[in-house]
Amino acid sequence: MALLWEEFYDRTPRPSNLDENEKLLNNFAKHHIEKNNKIVLITSGGTTVPLEHNTVRFVDNFSAGNRGSISAEYFLDHGYAVIFMHRLKSLEPFSRHFSGHKFLDIMNLTMINDVTSISVAPQYVNKISKILRKYKETLKDNKLLQICFTTLSEYLWLLRSACQALTILENRAILYLAAAVSDFYIPSNEMALHKISSSGAPSIHLQLVPKVLEPLVNLWVSKAFVVSFKLETDENILISKAREALTKYNHNLVIANILQTRKQQVVFVSQENDYILSLTNEQIQNGEEIEKFIVQNLIEKHEIWMRSQKLD
Ligand code: 9Z3
């Protein structure tokens, strides 16, 4: 049996940097409500579940952070302010274009008369200046707040605080829950203090994580537009699982995806209907990103939903 979500927060230590993050979140929300902007909270990357307090080993959830970081850039293009809540060292908006060796490949190194200079290789200048211009504009307009988590408990504490900061935006906030969150964990009081000995096969007992989507939708940000993601590896159960989540939590939308095809195809599952969004082979070859279409569709839905609430 999973703990009730209240019991989870009672029993799990509050991260030491949470007060600082709450200040950042509240200031960001206040700034954008004054500017009459909309905000999207994007969660991105996988959570870890430590096996020891002094953590040497942990269980991880799969997510590189592509979905979240790419989507953040498209939301910014559409004028939204973005809270990007991500796993430390997973992909981030803008810098994602330069991750790994790509960063080194774009640089040229020249040495003339013992003077070394570094420049951007000419074939990359257009692309990089576009990204850099958008990044600088985003900073100038204070449109992006980045906060990070590593463990499941850091994620759950931060998520609740971010939701609480967003309540003042009412229906102008979107929650875009793309992080891959562990379903299992070891409660703090059951976790080994030191590195588990390897002198024999350990017996590790994981508990179910309480489903926080329920308080999130009903209590923490009850007026926001909430979108969750459903990840499966078996196509046969994807839609039924997505619909089950939608019925259980009664939020606005579930975006369902299969691990192997997540970059080419997703299914939007809402109270009204299901529909597939996918890239054509030509779009894939042209380097189009499916997040562009996910975000376009979502923003249309958000607009219609906000308008319908005004009429009530
Ligand atoms: C997703 O399904 C994301 O689309 C991916 C993105 C994690 C597949 P990448 O970061 O991958 O681009 O590499 N996120 C939700 C995963 C999840 O844990 N969902 C839970 C579930 O399926 C519900 S919150 O039960």
CATH number where 30 lies: 3.40.50.10300
Domains in the chain: how many in total? 1
Q: 253 in a domain, yes or no? A: no
pLDDT greater than 80 at residue 22? yes
CB 3 within 8 A of CB 156: no
Q: 200 in a domain, yes or no? A: yes
What is the model's pLDDT at position 210?
95
pLDDT greater than 80 at residue 310? no
Q: 285 in a domain, yes or no? A: no
Residues with CB under 6 A from ligand 1: 63-67, 177-178, 180-181, 228-231, 257, 262
- Tell me whether residue 83 is exposed, middle or buried, using C-beta atoms within 10 angstroms of its C-beta: 0 to 12, 13 to 18, 19 or more: buried
Residue 94's identity, in one-letter code, is: F
Query: ipTM for the complex?
Result: 0.96
Average pLDDT, the chain: 96
In a 3-state reduction of DSSP, which class is residue 267? strand
Q: 142 in a domain, yes or no? A: yes
User: What digits encode the pLDDT tens for the residues 238-260?
Assistant: 999 999 999 999 999 999 999 99
What is the model's pLDDT at position 156?
98
Residue 153 is given by DSSP the state: H
User: What digits encode the pLDDT tens for the residues 275-288?
Assistant: 999 999 999 999 99
| pLDDT mean over 100-116 | 89
User: What digits encode the pLDDT tens for the residues 150-192?
Assistant: 999 999 999 999 999 999 999 999 999 999 999 999 999 999 9
Q: Which of 41, 61, 63 to mutate to test the pocket of ligand 1 (most atoms within 8 A of CB)?
A: 63
What is the model's pLDDT at position 99?
86
Owning domain of residue 163: 5-90+131-223
Phi, psi of 145 (to 5 degrees): -115, 125
Å from CA of 197 to ligand 1 middle: 33
Q: 242 in a domain, yes or no? A: no
What is the model's pLDDT at position 89?
96
Q: 274 in a domain, yes or no? A: no
Å from CA of 63 to ligand 1 middle: 7
Q: 300 in a domain, yes or no? A: no
Q: 85 in a domain, yes or no? A: yes
